[in-house]
Structure 1
Amino acid sequence: MKNTLLLIVSVFISYSTFASEFTLTSDSVANGKPISNAFFTNQFGCSGENKMPDLKWENAPENTKSFALSYFDLDAPTGSGFWHYTLFNIDGNIDHLAGGIDGGKLPKGSVQGRTDLGIPGFIGSCPQTGEIHRYQWKLTALDVDKLDIGSDTTPQVLSLNLLAHSLGQAKLTVLAGR
């Protein structure tokens, strides 16, 4: 019995050691670190450049057919955060997005959903003066080629669809303060 248990634990540890983690990284922003003004919006009292950082990922779960990406202010004073960006139906063979993509530069077939302002497109960070907020990029690997929703989809409805088709998620959380 002890030998069987030891064998099972050894196999689990070996698998855990060699299993590659699904990761989301960037050359222009770092996990847990403050972002530069370039990634702040130019609205709501902020004077940033409203640029999206480059994003790259690796080790997506097996059988990934597409991806969805979101950018969310975890600390917005709304009681439920604030969605700054959604992009879905990203082809499962893609492993990066160039910095500054928006509108016409999107990967073929991908769709920008609405933000919490009710419009599609990217809205850079803009925390309240004197505060530091956590902003989270989240990439979800999906088991379907395409979600059957459109650009008028709210972030909340997108989230429900992601829940139903998620194979795994990779996150990159940055800080913004002013």
Structure 2
Amino acid sequence: MRLTSTSFHNGQPMPAEFAAGDTAGFAPNRNPQLAWSEAPAGTRSFALLCIDPDVPTVAATVGRSDCTVPRDQPRGDFTHWAMADIPADVQAIAAGSCSDGFSVKGKTAPAGPAGARQGLNDFTGWFAGNPDMAGQYLGYDGPYPPFNDERVHRYFFRVFALDVAQLDLPTPFTAADVLRAMHGHVLAEAALHGTYTLNPALA
């Protein structure tokens, strides 16, 4: 199984068009184009995740002009996209077809392939304590790493071919729910990643 994108090259920087934030604030936040092929026989649906494994774990260091987030600070995962029940006959997602702009308080009904379900991304938790931003952030919301981070962030897009048409998921669901529900149902997986930074010293 193969996963490709015309929006960025594997392992290379993602254009700001596909990010939630840039140096001026919110960015266009369009989802990148993705296409997958060579799914195995018996595939009944696909699941899609986008996760950044380079997120700082010490919140007090984030977004400060008087210090940087050290490169060697322990890092955690941040989900930018979780989608399940993508029909087996869908093998591509066009750029901007699932997200085109940043919605304060989150998208209430993000677009996507017919029949697919969009889960929560981790901006839900990130903005939970901010009354101006808090909400359920469903679907794709792209990169917005701290401008003072010494590490370039990586964004891993993973597509899973599954032997079931629908996953047993709560409403709303998270990437962790998808990973649990598809255990034992994965026929194949394909992945690629892009990078993104707002640190001018690393750009």
User: Which TM bucket (shorter chain)?
Assistant: 0.7 to 0.9
| Local SS of the residue matching 2:50 | strand
| Distance in 2, Cα, partners of 1:81 & 1:45 | 25
Give the aligned partner of residue 125 of structure 1. 143
In structure 1, what is the equivalent of residue 54 of structure 2?
Answer: 75
Is 2:65 the counterpart of 1:91? no
Residue aligning to 2:15: 36
Aligned-partner Cα distance in 2 for 1:101–1:115: 17
Structure (1 or 2) with the greater helix fraction: 1
The aligned runs of 1:48-67 (5 Å cut-off) are: 48-67=27-46
Which residue is 1:134 aligned to? 154
Distance 1:162 1:80, change over 3 A: farther
Distance in 2, Cα, partners of 1:50 & 1:139:
20
Q: Give the aligned residue type for 1:161.
A: A
CA contact (8 A) 2:13 2:195 kept: yes
Aligned match of 1:17: none
Please state whether the residue corresponding to 1:76 is helix, strand or coil. Answer: strand
Contact 1:72 1:85 survives alignment (8 Å): yes
RMSD of equivalent CA atoms: 1.9
Which residue matches 1:158? 178
Q: Which amino acid aligns with 2:117?
A: V
TM-score (norm 1): 0.81
In the alignment, the residues of structure 2 paired with residue 110 and residue 116 of structure 1 have an alpha-carbon distance, to the nearest angstrom, of 19
Q: Which runs of 4+ in 1 moved over 3 A?
A: 42-47
- Cα deviation for residue 42 of structure 1 reads 3.7
Residue segments in structure 1 that go unaligned for 5+ positions in a row: 1-21
Cα deviation, 1:111-130, whole Å, max 9, x if unaligned, reads 00111233312111012224
For residues 145 and 122 of structure 2, the distance between their equivalents in structure 1, rounded to whole angstroms, comes to 15
Distance 1:91 1:149, change over 3 A: same
Measured in 1, the distance between the counterparts of 2:81 and 2:5 equals 17
In terms of Rg, which structure is larger?
A: 1
Between 107-116 and 148-157, the greater mean CA deviation after superposition: 148-157
Higher relative contact order (CA 8 A, sep 6+): 2
Q: Which runs of 5+ in 2 are unaligned?
A: 58-74, 99-108, 125-136, 199-203
